[in-house]
Amino acid sequence: MDGRLARLTHTEAVLNPQTPIVVTGGTGFLGRHVMAALAARGYARAAAIGSRDYDLTQSADSRRMLDERRPEVIVHLAAVVGGIGANRSHPGTFFYKNLMMGSLLMEHARHAGVKRFVSVGTICSYPKFTPVPFQESELWNGYPEETNAPYGLAKKMLLVQSQAYRQEFGFDAVNAMLVNLYGPGDSFDPETSHVIPALIRRCVEAAEADAESIDVWGTGKATREFLYVEDAAQGIVMALERLLDSEPVNLGAGREISIRDLVGEIARLCGFKGKLRWDASKPDGQPRRCLDTTRAKERLGWSATTPFEQGLERTIAWYRESRKRAGAASTRA
């Protein structure tokens, strides 16, 4: 039996419908979709945990979770995240909490006998001027874009840890790298939301108020790639089932769009017809972002399937419906 087949046999032996799985951050935006994807694949003993259950930045809580839940597999989604503004305001918090929750959890999981650990990383770990499309081999060829470097580097250290632990301890840790996500259930809080939900909220509110204009950060020249959350969840579950080593694998849509075009598309779909005023004094962030997803296709048999406009339409519809529900609840109260 060759090494690859032996590792595949090991992975199949670990995973079955009764395998105890813990999804950290499983109560959040991405986590809820990962839990749904796991259920659809027949995993009957997957448990979602959130920050209300355990503070994974604390060693004692990390150990307590493992003692109480006794998982054989961990999917680590938990993260402290936000847009450019939040990253600029809280770089120390983003670095410390993301590093500690992941590093402590992996260390205690190793000692607890966890059989498989899926670490979900971020496109923010790539160098600022990575050639487009980003290939996994470029991860160490420069420093990340400054506004989100602390967050990106903290998540990147989990890649280092997983590779080091596999080499020294034989710990089965794998790594998936995500682009910016969007979709129903995202956070639309203006203090913490990423670009798509932030723009949807502003365009919907401006359209309803018949506003003449909205202000947008940056020049609009930067490009981004966005992955529909259900596609991301499917990719993570396939990484759980199929990855055989600790090398990172990009999960992306393979579609690059400028922020200027993105804002125009969201404004159109939201029915906002006013002017877009660009504030060039605010940062653009990383100049370009677009992933090469060849490795995901080859090793996972995975690729994104949701058309971008369709995903935006679903997200806008969900946001409008959630506002209606919130308004109705407020009226009843």
Is the pLDDT at 15 greater than 90, yes or no?
A: yes
Q: Cis ω on the peptide bond leading into residue 184 (within 30° of 0)?
A: no
Percent of the chain with pLDDT over 90: 83
Nearest one of 218, 225, 192, 230 to 126, comparing CA atoms? 225
Q: Which residue has the higher pLDDT, 287 or 201?
A: 201
Segment 3-18 shows an average pLDDT of 63
pLDDT computed for residue 9 by the predictor: 47
Do residues 20 and 70 touch, judged by C-beta distance below 8 A?
A: yes
Return the ∠ at Cα 43 (arms to 79 and 24), rounded to 5°. 15
Determine the residue type at 3: G
Tokens coding 11: 């992975």
Is the pLDDT at 13 greater than 60, yes or no?
A: no
Residue with tokens 């909205």: 214
CA of 163: how far to CAs of 22, 58, 156, 168, in Å? Answer: 21, 23, 11, 9
Q: What's the CA gap between 163 and 106, in Å, rounded?
A: 12
What architecture is the 3-183+226-255+289-306 domain classified under in CATH? 3-Layer(aba) Sandwich (3.40)
Q: Which residue has the higher pLDDT, 325 or 78?
A: 78
> In angstroms, how far is CA 280 from the centroid of its own chain?
27
The helix or strand, by DSSP H or E, that contains position 178, with its residue range, turns out to be strand 173-178
Q: Report the predicted TM-score, pTM, of the whole model to 2 decimal places.
A: 0.91
Which residues belong to the active site? 151
DSSP state of 137: G
The runs of H, that is alpha helices, within the chain are 3-14, 29-40, 59-69, 84-89, 91-112, 149-169, 195-209, 229-242, 259-270, 294-300, 308-332
Domain ranges of the chain: 3-183+226-255+289-306
Q: What's the CA gap between 150 and 45, in Å, rounded?
A: 34
β-pair partners for 258: 223
Q: Cis ω on the peptide bond leading into residue 144 (within 30° of 0)?
A: no
The helix or strand, by DSSP H or E, that contains position 185, with its residue range, turns out to be none
pLDDT tens string 131-160? 999 999 999 999 999 988 999 999 999 999
What is the C-alpha radius of gyration for the chain, rounded to an integer number of angstroms? Answer: 20
Residue with tokens 């936000």: 82
Nearest one of 155, 45, 34, 33 to 106, comparing CA atoms? 155
pLDDT tens string 194-249? 889 999 999 999 999 999 999 998 999 999 999 999 999 999 999 999 999 999 99
pLDDT computed for residue 332 by the predictor: 62
Do residues 19 and 181 touch, judged by C-beta distance below 8 A?
A: no
pLDDT computed for residue 222 by the predictor: 92
